[in-house]
């Protein structure tokens, strides 16, 4: 699960950096990165709870800019360890103060904050935000543990160091929210508090820089804001009054309350909290991933529908066309050659060579080749259908670009790929058509041989055919076809050929002949559909999504998403982090 969450974060960031998004989408994606980053850190905290069961309590002080967070940290520590400044954004890194601890008690922090680097507090710089510091503090004011001073989450520059804030929040066993009378109502405060509600962290609110005459109004308003944002009860609130010297007085803190709160944290329910957090935000996180699945399915639907139309055209304009369908007539032409040259037929049955090869050798016509695939009506029609298929697909893509503006970029890239790949696809299709035409001649020859064998079992019909002059004339025409003297269409419409076809159809093997024709046509239909339309056209276009710019899309497969979601269907203890 952790690996999948990290992959999602990486893909969201990559897409944001591509710069091809509307402002509203950019804002939405950044919000998702924030919640995903929290989830990533919270999962790491769960691992920490298992591997380092006795690690020190983690207390995170969070709040908006200039609320006085660092001042409150110093107040809690009863020291001046945290740097304080009136400038907004002065604290920009996670800074921990290890209270009465030894180094080995928090050595695991470097792994948790990775890829952040641990440095001395004095080495923290605004030139590098992926840093954190740990400072040893001896204090009698708080129990042993780690108190974290964090950067704000609402300033202009906050986006640059927000990751450190989120890591600190997810690590915390206890949250101390610091707001001021000017900042307690800021939307950013309540957005983050609503987001982390599912973590179940005990919380203390400190209202800083408060004036006594406005205390009641501010605290009532604060309570209302809490109830609008969260479902749990309002936590303990400590008011700190404004001091002219700028820092609150230590005696304003309720130390007993703070110590009780800091001892309330429980890590036993962490698994349940992280499971609920993932379940709550999962639909929003994967919504654009599913949108990619949807548009990819739409693309596949366009391909499949256009291929159906292509097959309809092939069926109508060739297989079922009374004048254009030539394949079975070709088989009959081969049959006639066998009928008039039985010696050749026997040789063919033994050697399984091309039927007309012995005839060409006998008649000495080796210099002339039979009609090539380029002269076939079927070949010409298939190439024409392929061109029409690509035009039809392109038209539907352009239509999607107009009707689906939110997916325009995806369709725009598909359209560009169609233009770039068109000639290559058509060339590959034409080569495959020629290969199919040549290979399928074996099926034609097999059909002719089966018809001949059937006639051989019917000597009366066979002798009747051989006794007629029309059979000899038709066979001569068939031989002329193979030697290049006439075209197949000329053979089909010749009176002698029509007469032989009529005799066969009306004989006792007429039904068998029609069955062979239907079988040949079915095999031809299936071969064209699989070897040409599916293998060449469908496969070429199906690969388009994988050819797009990787940095603009999530590129997460349905299988990867399903594998991650299977974990969410299990009980919390079944959630696999890695």
Burial of 534 (0-12, 13-18, 19+ CB in 10 A): middle
Query: What per-residue confidence (pLDDT) applies to 371?
Result: 46
Judge contact between 460 and 315, C-beta under 8 A: no
From residue 314, alpha-carbon distances to 310, 413, 433, 440 in Å are: 6, 30, 13, 16
Distance CA 85, CA 445 (A): 93
Residue pLDDT, tens place only, 162-220: 899 999 999 999 999 999 888 888 898 999 999 999 999 999 999 988 887 888 898 99
Q: Residue 85, class by beta-carbon neighbours within 10 Å (0-12 exposed, 13-18 middle, 19+ buried)?
A: exposed
pLDDT attached to residue 227? 94
Contact partners, residue 504, CB within 8 Å, separation at least 6 = 332, 465, 510, 513
Task: Find tokens 């708080």 and name the residue.
Answer: 142
pTM to 2 decimals? Answer: 0.74
Q: Are 21 and 298 in contact (CB under 8 A)?
A: no
Length of the chain: 578
CA separation for the pair 150, 160 (Å, rounded): 13
Q: Which residues of the chain have pLDDT under 50?
A: 341-372, 469
Distance (Å, whole) CA 544 – CA 474:
51
Q: Which residues contact 204 (CB under 8 A, 6 or more apart)?
A: 174, 175, 176, 177, 235, 236, 237, 238, 257, 258, 261
Q: Give the mean pLDDT of the chain.
A: 83
β-sheet bridge partners, residue 236: 204
Residue 494: per-residue pLDDT = 58
* Domain architecture of the chain: domains with CATH: 54-266 (3.40.50.300), 322-547 (no CATH)
Those residues whose C-beta lies under 8 Å from the C-beta of residue 193, and which sit 6 or more positions away, are 177, 226, 229, 230
Distance (Å, whole) CA 161 – CA 91: 10
What's residue 532's pLDDT? 95
- The token duo for 519 is 């079988």
DSSP structure string for 291-312: HHHHHHHHHHHHHHHHHHHHHH
């Amino acid at each position: 699960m952790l690996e999948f969450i990290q992959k999602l974060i990486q893909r969201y960031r990559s897409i944001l950096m591509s710069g091809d998004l509307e402002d509203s989408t950019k804002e939405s994606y950044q919000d998702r990165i924030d919640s995903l980053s929290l989830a990533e850190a919270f999962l790491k905290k769960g691992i920490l709870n298992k591997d380092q069961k006795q690690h020190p309590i983690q207390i995170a002080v969070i709040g908006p800019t200039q609320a006085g967070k660092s001042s409150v940290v110093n107040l809690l520590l009863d020291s001046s360890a945290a740097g304080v400044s009136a400038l907004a954004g002065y604290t920009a890194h996670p800074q921990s103060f290890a209270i009465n601890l030894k180094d080995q008690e928090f050595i695991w922090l470097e792994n948790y904050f990775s890829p952040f680097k641990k440095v001395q507090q004095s080495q923290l710089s605004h030139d590098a935000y992926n840093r954190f510091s740990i400072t040893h503090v001896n204090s009698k004011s708080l129990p042993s543990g780690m108190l974290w001073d964090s950067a704000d989450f609402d300033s202009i520059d906050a986006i640059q160091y927000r990751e450190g804030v989120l890591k600190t929040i997810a690590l915390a066993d206890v949250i101390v929210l610091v707001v001021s009378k000017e900042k307690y109502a800021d939307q950013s405060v309540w957005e983050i508090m609503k987001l982390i509600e599912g973590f179940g962290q005990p919380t203390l609110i400190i209202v800083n820089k408060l004036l006594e005459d406005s205390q009641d109004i501010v605290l009532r308003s604060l309570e209302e804001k809490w109830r609008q944002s969260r479902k749990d009860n309002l936590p303990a609130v400590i008011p700190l009054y404004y001091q002219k010297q700028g820092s609150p007085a230590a005696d304003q803190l309720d130390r007993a309350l703070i110590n009780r709160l800091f001892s309330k944290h429980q890590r036993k329910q962490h698994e349940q909290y992280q499971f609920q957090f993932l379940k709550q935000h999962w639909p929003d996180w994967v919504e654009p991933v599913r949108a990619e699945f949807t548009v990819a399915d739409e693309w596949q639907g366009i391909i499949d529908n256009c291929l159906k139309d292509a097959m309809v055209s092939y069926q109508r304009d060739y297989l079922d066309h009374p004048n254009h369908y030539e394949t079975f007539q070709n088989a009959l032409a081969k049959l006639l050659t066998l009928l008039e040259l039985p010696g050749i037929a026997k040789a063919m049955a033994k050697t399984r060579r091309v039927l007309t090869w012995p005839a060409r050798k006998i008649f000495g016509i080796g210099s002339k080749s039979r009609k090539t695939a380029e002269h076939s009506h079927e070949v010409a029609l298939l190439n024409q259908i392929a061109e029409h298929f690509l035009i039809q697909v392109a038209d539907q893509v352009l239509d999607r670009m107009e009707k689906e503006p939110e997916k325009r970029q995806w369709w725009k890239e598909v359209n560009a790929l169609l233009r770039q790949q068109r000639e290559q696809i058509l060339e590959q299709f034409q080569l495959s058509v020629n290969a199919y035409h040549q290979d399928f001649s074996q099926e034609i020859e097999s059909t002719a041989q089966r018809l001949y064998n059937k006639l051989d079992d019917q000597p009366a019909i066979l002798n009747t055919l051989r006794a007629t002059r029309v059979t000899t004339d038709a066979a001569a025409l068939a031989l002329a076809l193979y030697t290049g003297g006439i075209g197949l269409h000329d053979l089909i419409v010749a009176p002698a050929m029509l007469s032989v076809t009529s005799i066969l159809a009306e004989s006792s093997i007429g039904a068998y002949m029609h069955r062979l024709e239907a079988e040949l046509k079915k095999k031809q239909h299936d071969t064209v559909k699989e070897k040409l339309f599916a293998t060449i056209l469908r496969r070429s276009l199906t690969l388009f999504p994988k050819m797009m710019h990787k940095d603009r899309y999530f590129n997460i497969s349905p299988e990867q998403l399903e594998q991650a979601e299977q974990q969410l269907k299990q009980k919390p203890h079944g959630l696999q982090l890695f």
